[in-house]
């Protein structure tokens, strides 16, 4: 039997991810990513919670961020979030558009994949 996670549950997990990014505290999101979690960005694909840690500590181009979601669309197996992120890029404060795709496990336990697209041009 195919089971889809509710929109409310998906929104809770998505909020945990953005809260973790904006507070620079990955412990917020640790409980909601699965062991098979994949983080995809232009920096490359990273696996597991440790991959997300690598992204935050070594690859992330912005700090002191604030994500504002403007659109959330839920499909059968994935959710798409569009918005703007404001943050420091090392030289100045910038505002960029983003689109993230979230996939969830079939057992309602967490996020299995996040694909991050950032318009930094």
Domain harbouring 86, CATH code: 3.10.450.50
pLDDT tens digits for the chain (121 residues)?
A: 455 789 999 999 999 999 999 999 999 999 999 999 999 998 899 999 999 999 999 999 999 999 999 999 999 889 999 999 999 999 999 999 999 999 999 786 899 999 999 987 6
Q: What percent helix, strand, coil does the chain show, rounded to 5?
A: 30, 45, 25
Residue 33 sits at the vertex; the CA angle it makes with 69 and 88, to the nearest 5 degrees, is 45
Closest by CA to 13, choosing from 38, 33, 40, 37, is: 33
Cβ(24)–Cβ(63) below 8 Å: yes
Query: Can you read off the two tokens belonging to residue 21?
Result: 């990014």
**Residue-number span of the structural domain to which 48 is assigned:** 7-119
55 within a domain of the structure (yes/no): yes
**Structure tokens belonging to residue 105:** 């496990």
Q: pTM score, two decimals?
A: 0.93
The domain tally of the chain equals 1
Q: Is 2 among the domain residues?
A: no
- The residue behind tokens 């994500």 is 67
């Amino acid at each position: 039997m195919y089971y889809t996670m509710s929109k409310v549950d998906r929104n809770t997990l998505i909020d945990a991810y953005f809260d973790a990014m904006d507070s620079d505290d990955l412990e917020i999101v640790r409980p909601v990513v699965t062991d098979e979690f994949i983080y995809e960005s232009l920096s490359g694909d990273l696996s597991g919670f440790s991959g997300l840690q690598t992204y935050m500590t070594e690859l992330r181009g912005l700090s002191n961020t604030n994500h504002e979601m403007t659109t959330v669309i839920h499909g059968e197996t994935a959710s798409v979030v569009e918005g703007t992120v404001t943050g420091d890029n090392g030289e100045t404060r910038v505002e960029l558009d983003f689109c993230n795709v979230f996939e969830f496990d079939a057992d309602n336990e967490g996020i299995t994949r996040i694909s991050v697209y950032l318009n930094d041009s």
